[in-house]
Amino acid sequence: MQANRLHDKHWYLQQELPPSASEADRAADRSLAEVASHLARPEGTGDPRRAATVHRWVREAAEQFTNSPVQSYVPILVEHIVRRRMGIV
């Protein structure tokens, strides 16, 4: 995903960021994209289906925290959830 698109859309929700989105929200969103890429890398032996699965798991985990008042911890929580799902604890 291109970096400039991350500024306009919630990466994990695939929808527009509101104009009122804070820089912290935008940073958390970029962090989620990085978490997904990081977790998919060691898994991926070049298998795009596996990478897509890991990205989907990150999106699903992040959706649980959409309305959380503090978004800065969301990427850390999502990474833990997905690592458990992957069997990497």
Instruction: Give the domain range for residue 66.
Output: 3-86
Residue 75 or 21, more confident: 75
- pLDDT mean over 51-75: 87
**pLDDT score at 10:** 53
Residue 29 or 43, more confident: 29
Q: How confident is the model at residue 43 (pLDDT cuts 50, 70, 90)?
A: low
Is residue 82 pLDDT above 70, yes or no? yes
Domain count for the chain: 1
DSSP string covering 16-62:
EPPTT--HHHHHHHHHHHHHHHHHHHHH-SS-HHHHHHHHHHHHHHH
Contact 86, 43 (CB under 8 A): yes
Of 2-6, 16-20, 59-63, least confident by mean pLDDT is 2-6
Is residue 59 pLDDT above 50, yes or no? yes
Q: How far is Cα 81 from Cα 23, in angstroms, rounded to an integer?
A: 25
